[in-house]
C-alpha cells in the first residue's frame, strides 16, 4: 500500500441520529442469550467494503468488526490490520469510514479504514476512544494524558494538552466543526490517581486551543463521581453517563443517564444496572451491557431494550485479557530458581495460618464479652493487639472463632454474614499470627 493510500478517512461517528428519546423507565432485554455465536467474516474490511464506507454502526466482536444496519442485520469483517493485539474501541461514520484500536502489549495502534485508504497510526502509549468527524478528522486519547487530533487523517497528529490542573483526559467527541468535548479527570485529596474519583465534561475549541468547563460535578476519593461514554445525536444533544459510588462501601455505584444541551447538563433518569452508551441511532440510544461473558448491544426503542447481539463499541474487552498485563512479570525470570530455594521453608499444608472470623472492634472487654454471649458459638476467644497484632487495632478488643486450616475463607465469611446479618459490617476474616502468646 502506498503512502497516498494510507491517508486516513474518517467521519462522524454513529449512524443515524435523531434524537433523543427521553424515557423514564427502563425495561427488559428481548433476548436473554448469553455468549456469542461464531460469525464468519464475509471479507477483509478493505477499501471497497462497507467498513470503509462507514455503512452501519460498527462494533467489535472478538477479533472481528461487525457492522449493523438500520434494522439490526449484522455483517462481520476481518480487520485489515490487527497484529497480535486485541481489538478495542471502534467508531464509524456514514460515508467516511471506520476507526478502531489494536491494543497491544506496549504502545497501541490506531487503524482507520476509509474509501481513500487504510491508515495505521502507531501510538506512543495506550490509545483509547477514537472518534471520527463528518469532515474526516480523527481524534483519540493517548495514555489518558493527551488528546491527538489528526485533521483529514494528516500526520503527525496534533497533540492537545489536557486542561490545566487536570489529571487525565479521555472520550473525546466532535460536537461541531471546530470543537470537541471530552471527559476530564480532576484531582481530589487522598486519591492514588490510578482509579477515577472526579470527572467533568470540558469543551475544547480547536482554533483557539482553549478549554471551557461544561459541568461542575463534585466528588471526593470516598464519594466519587465519574463520567463515561458521551455520545452526540445529530441535533447536537449530548448524552453521557454519570456514575456515583462510595469507595469504602461494598455495593455497586449508581449509573445515571444525563444530557447536555446548550451547555446545561441535566439528569435524564437512573439506570437499572451497569451499562454504557454505544451511540445514537434513528430509533434512539444504543447501549452496551455485559451479560457475564460478552458485551452485547441493545437498541432502546419505546420503553424497551432490544437485543442486537454481541458487540462492543467504546467498552473495554472483558473476554480477552489485557495484553499490557501479561501473566508473567518481565523481570521474573529468576522465579523458578528462587522458589526452589524457598522449598524447605514452604511445605504445603504444614503451616498453621491461624485464620479466624473476628467480630469487632470493641472499646472494652465487657462489650466484647457481651457480643460473644450473644453469638453463642463454641470456642470463641477474646483478642487484643498484643496477641493478634495483624487482626485488631491497639487498644481494642475483638471476638474471634478460629477456623480449620483447610477452611474456604470466602465461604466461611459469607455463611457467617448470612447467619449473623446484624454483624455483617463488623466481622471479617483475620489472621491471629504474629503476636505474643499470653494466657
Partner 1 sequence: MVSFEGPSHPEGGRGPGPRVRWRARGAVAAVASVVLLAPVTAIAGHMGGWTHDHSSAGVPYRPHGYNDIVRVFGQPCGPNMQGAHVWWPHINAPWDGGYQGHHPYIVRNIVHNIRSHISAAHNEGAWYYGQYGGVCKQRTGGSGYSLHAFGAAVDTNTARNPYGQCSWNGVGVNGVAYGTYLPNVWRESEAGHNFRWGRDWCDPHHFQYATGW
Applying the rule CB under 8 A, the residues between 203 and 232 that interact with partner 1 are 224, 226, 228-229
CB of 67 to partner 1, least distance (A): 21
Parallel, antiparallel, or unpaired: how do β-strands 276-281 and 146-150 relate? Answer: unpaired
Q: Which of 276, 287, 298, 306 binds partner 1 (CB under 8 A)?
A: 276
Distance CA 123, CA 115 (A): 23
Cα separations (Å) of 356 from 259, 409, 411, 432?
49, 9, 13, 7
Residue 110 Cβ, how far from partner 1 at the closest point, in Å?
16
Find the length of the chain.
439
The smaller minimum CB distance to partner 1, of residues 46 and 272, is found at 272
Backbone phi and psi for residue 31, each to the nearest 5 degrees, phi listed first: -120, 140
Nearer to partner 1, 45 or 127 (CB): 127
Tell me which residues in 312-331 interact with partner 1 (CB under 8 A): 314-322, 324-331
Identify which of residues 98 and 171 has a Cβ nearer to partner 1 in the complex.
Answer: 171
Q: How far is the CB of 266 from partner 1 (least distance, A)?
A: 22
Beta bridge mates, 420: none
Q: Which residue stretch of 90-98, 172-180, 191-199, 230-238 sits at the interface with partner 1 (rule: CB under 8 A)?
A: 191-199
Is residue 70 a contact partner of residue 281, using CB atoms and an 8 Å limit? Answer: yes
Enumerate residues 5-64 that contact partner 1 by CB under 8 A.
none
254 makes contact with partner 1 (CB under 8 A): no
The number of C-alpha atoms within 13 Å of 162 and in the hemisphere containing its C-beta is: 24
SS3 of residue 227 by DSSP: strand
For the CB of residue 253, give the shortest distance to partner 1 in the complex, in Å: 7
Q: Which of 425, 360, 358, 437 is CA-nearest to residue 395?
A: 360
Question: Which helix or strand (DSSP H or E) is residue 412 part of?
Answer: helix 409-419
Q: Which of 77, 100, 140, 170 binds partner 1 (CB under 8 A)?
A: 170
Among residues 159, 339, 364, 366, which is the contact residue for partner 1, using CB under 8 A? 339
Nearer to partner 1, 159 or 293 (CB): 293
Using the rule CB under 8 A, is 128 a contact of partner 1? yes
Q: Does 165 bind partner 1 (CB under 8 A)?
A: no
State yes or no: residue 139 binds partner 1 (CB under 8 A).
no
Which residue's CB is nearer to partner 1, number 189 or number 262?
189
Asked whether position 350 contacts partner 1 by CB under 8 A, the answer is yes
Contact window for partner 1 (CB under 8 A) among 11-19, 28-36, 90-98, 243-251: 243-251
User: Where does this chain touch partner 1 (CB under 8 A) — which range of 40-48, 75-83, 285-293, 298-306?
Assistant: 285-293
Does position 140 interact with partner 1 (CB under 8 A)? The reply is no
**CB neighbours of 241 closer than 8 A, spacing ≥ 6?**
227, 228, 229, 255, 256, 257, 258, 271, 276, 277
Residue 4 in contact with partner 1, rule: CB under 8 A: no
Q: Give least dist CB 330 to partner 1, A.
A: 7
Q: How many residues bind partner 1 (CB under 8 A)?
A: 108
- Site residues (CB under 8 A) for partner 1, limited to 384-423: 384-395, 397, 405-406, 409-410, 412-414, 417
- Which of 351, 363, 364, 366 binds partner 1 (CB under 8 A)? It is 351
- Residues 6 or more apart whose Cβ sits within 8 Å of residue 22: 259, 268, 269
Query: What is the radius of gyration, based on Cα positions, of the chain?
Result: 27
107 lies in the site for partner 1, by CB under 8 A: no
State whether residue 102 is helix, strand or coil.
strand
| Per-residue exposure over 284-320, b if at least 16 CB sit within 10 Å of its own CB, e if not | bbbbbbbbeebbbbbbbbeeebbbbbbbbbbbebeee
Is 365 a binder of partner 1 (CB under 8 A)? yes
Q: Does 193 engage in binding with partner 1 (CB under 8 A)?
A: yes
User: Given strand 199-205, what is the order of strands in its sheet?
Assistant: 168-176, 179-185, 199-205, 210-213
Amino acid at each position: 500500500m502506498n503512502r497516498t493510500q494510507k491517508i486516513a478517512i474518517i467521519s462522524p461517528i454513529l449512524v443515524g441520529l435523531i434524537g433523543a428519546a427521553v424515557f423514564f423507565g427502563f425495561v427488559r432485554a428481548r433476548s436473554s442469550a448469553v455468549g456469542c455465536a461464531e460469525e464468519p467474516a464475509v471479507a477483509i474490511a478493505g477499501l471497497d467494503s462497507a467498513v470503509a464506507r462507514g455503512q452501519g454502526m460498527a462494533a467489535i466482536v472478538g477479533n472481528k468488526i461487525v457492522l449493523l444496519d438500520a434494522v439490526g442485520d449484522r455483517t462481520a469483517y476481518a480487520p485489515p490490520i490487527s497484529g497480535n493485539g486485541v481489538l478495542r474501541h471502534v467508531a464509524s461514520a456514514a460515508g467516511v469510514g471506520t476507526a478502531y484500536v489494536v491494543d497491544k502489549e506496549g504502545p497501541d495502534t490506531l487503524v482507520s479504514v476509509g474509501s481513500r485508504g487504510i491508515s495505521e497510526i502507531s501510538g506512543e502509549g495506550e490509545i483509547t476512544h477514537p472518534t471520527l468527524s463528518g469532515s474526516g478528522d480523527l481524534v483519540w486519547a493517548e495514555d489518558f494524558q493527551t488528546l491527538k487530533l489528526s485533521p483529514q487523517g494528516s500526520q503527525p497528529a496534533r497533540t492537545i494538552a489536557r486542561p490545566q490542573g487536570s489529571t487525565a483526559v479521555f472520550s473525546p467527541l466532535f460536537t461541531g466543526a471546530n470543537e470537541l468535548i471530552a471527559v476530564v479527570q480532576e484531582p481530589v485529596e487522598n486519591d492514588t490517581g490510578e482509579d477515577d474519583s472526579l470527572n467533568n465534561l470540558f469543551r475544547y475549541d480547536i482554533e483557539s486551543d482553549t478549554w471551557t468547563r461544561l459541568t461542575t460535578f463534585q466528588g471526593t476519593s470516598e464519594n466519587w463521581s465519574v463520567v463515561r461514554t458521551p455520545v452526540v445525536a445529530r441535533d447536537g444533544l449530548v448524552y453521557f453517563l454519570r456514575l456515583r459510588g462510595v469507595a469504602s462501601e461494598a455495593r455497586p455505584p449508581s449509573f445515571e443517564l444525563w444530557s447536555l444541551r446548550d451547555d446545561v447538563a441535566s439528569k435524564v433518569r437512573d439506570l437499572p444496572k451497569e451499562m454504557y452508551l454505544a451511540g445514537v441511532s434513528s430509533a434512539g440510544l444504543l447501549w452496551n451491557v455485559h451479560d457475564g461473558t460478552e458485551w452485547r448491544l441493545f437498541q432502546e426503542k419505546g420503553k424497551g431494550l432490544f437485543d442486537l447481539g454481541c458487540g462492543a463499541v467504546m467498552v473495554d474487552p472483558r473476554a480477552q485479557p489485557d495484553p499490557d498485563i501479561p501473566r508473567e512479570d518481565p523481570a521474573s525470570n529468576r522465579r523458578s530458581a528462587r522458589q526452589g530455594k524457598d522449598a524447605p521453608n514452604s511445605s504445603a499444608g504444614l503451616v498453621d495460618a491461624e485464620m479466624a472470623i473476628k467480630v469487632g472492634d470493641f472499646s472494652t472487654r465487657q462489650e466484647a464479652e457481651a457480643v460473644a454471649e450473644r453469638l453463642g458459638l463454641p470456642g470463641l476467644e477474646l483478642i487484643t493487639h498484643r496477641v493478634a497484632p495483624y487482626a485488631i487495632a491497639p487498644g481494642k478488643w475483638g471476638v474471634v472463632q478460629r477456623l480449620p486450616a483447610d477452611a474456604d475463607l470466602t465461604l466461611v465469611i459469607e455463611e457467617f454474614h448470612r447467619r449473623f446479618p446484624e454483624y455483617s459490617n463488623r466481622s471479617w476474616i483475620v489472621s491471629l499470627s504474629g503476636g505474643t502468646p499470653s494466657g
